[in-house]
Structure formats: C-alpha cells, structure tokens
Structure 1
Amino acid sequence: MSADLESAEGLVEKVEGASLPLQARGALLSREECVILLDNMWTFARIELDVDWGNEEARRLKAAVAELRSRLEAASQALLAFLRQADEKTIEALLEEPGVGPYRFWVERLRKCAAESLPLAEERLAAILSTLRRRELD
C-alpha cells in the first residue's frame, strides 16, 4: 500500500503543479487516475476496519487517503474552474487530445453546471470547508 500512497502523492503533486491551460490534459488525466487509486485504497482500508476495528495500519491508511483526497480536491479547483470557463474551441482541442476522449461526457456536464458555479476563490473556500467538515465526520 505504501507504493500506492506514493503514486497517489505524485499524482496529486502533478495536479497541484499544473500550469493551465498548457497542462490541462495532464492535470485531468492525473486527477482521474488519482481519484480511482484513492477510492480503491479507501475501500480497502474500510473493509480492513470492518474486519478488525483495531487495525492500526488500516487506520493510518484511511487517514493518509483522506489527507490526499483533501489535497486533490483543493488542487483540482483551478482545473475545474478552467474546464468550466474556457471557450469552446479550447475545450474541443483538449477533448481531441489522446486519452481525454473518455472524459468528454464528464467535461460537458461540468460545463453545463457552470452557471451554478461560484467564482474560483469562493470554490476554493468551499472545498476547504468541505474538507474540514469531512474530517470532523471521520
């Protein structure tokens, strides 16, 4: 699991360091790969804790995954804002790039919700508050 945590950490760092719009493709693909990896590790930790609530390794894994999820959510806000606000030509060019096609529906749905979105600064604040609330519940 430590190798998976390191992989997830690297993916989060790619999203955090992405220069938009130039690295939008890489940030999108890294984000999606990281979401899948974190979901799998979260599920594994939850199952381990269901079997043995005292499993300290599973508790540490769950905490590490929660921290990485929070970082990924915060790092993704700039990417999500870019995807919502970019012009159609830019988005079409992005969706034509290799590997991005499977995310077409997700990006189009995100753009349709743009009218309901907050400005970037407020989105970041909402993400931070959501993360803090999630930590309280865990």
Structure 2
Amino acid sequence: MDRFHTLWASWAIRDPASGKKAWFGGDTGYRTVHPGENEDELPVCPEFKNIGEKFGGFNLALIPIGAYDIREVTSCVHCAPQDSVRVFKDVRAKKAIGMHWGTWSLTTEPIMEPPQRLREECEKLGISKEEFDICALGETVFT
C-alpha cells in the first residue's frame, strides 16, 4: 500500500549552464469528468498555470497523452489529448513531446489513437507539429 512514499507527480529541471528548463508531466489529470458531464464546462486543475508562472515557462515539456478511456475512471489521473494541449499552454512550454502512449494497453482506447487525437486537438488550438508532437516508437529526437 502506498503511504505517500511514491512520487507520481511532475517535476522540473533547469540546466544551470544554459538556463534551459524542462518539465516532466508524470501521471497527472487535468480535470475530473463524471458520466454525462460536458468536459468543456468543468473546472480544471489550476496548478498547471501556477507551474508555468512560477518557472516562467519551459523549453521542453513531456506531457502525457494516453491512457484516458474510460474518462470517468481515468480523467483525474491521466490526461486525454484535449487535456494535454491545454496543459501545454498552461505550463507555457515552447515545445512538447507527448508521452504515456503506445507502450501497453492500460485503458480501452486503441493503442495508436493518442497521437492522432493529439494532432486533432493541437490543430483546434493552433499548435503546430513543431511545437507539440510525439516520438515515433523507438525514435530518438534531438531538441
């Protein structure tokens, strides 16, 4: 049993030489969604904006985009793509890479669905692929 000895949350690091900052989103949820609720009308966690303000934004953010279906069960602990793009804006990241998808079937969405949904949600908010994308399975990306 976990007695608050395990860290599931996010963390930030700064390179003292360059001043560049990175943020790792960890296992996190953006809002709690109950059956029948309209997500767009629900309150969201204010801490992501607080993180962006406190650290002045990030050069790179690693943001979860998968393990979101069934929403009423997972929404409080996992971001769906529509949450992930808002977290990106809230933490004021210049660039983000979507994570927590494609490793194994943890929830009921198709395993390759999160990147497709991420792209759709980014397009809705005018976020380019250069700003928020994924690594292909096994790909190495240099930023």
State the TM-score, normalizing by the size of structure 1: 0.29
Structure number with the higher strand fraction is 2
TM-score relative to the length of structure 2: 0.28
| Greater C-alpha Rg | 1
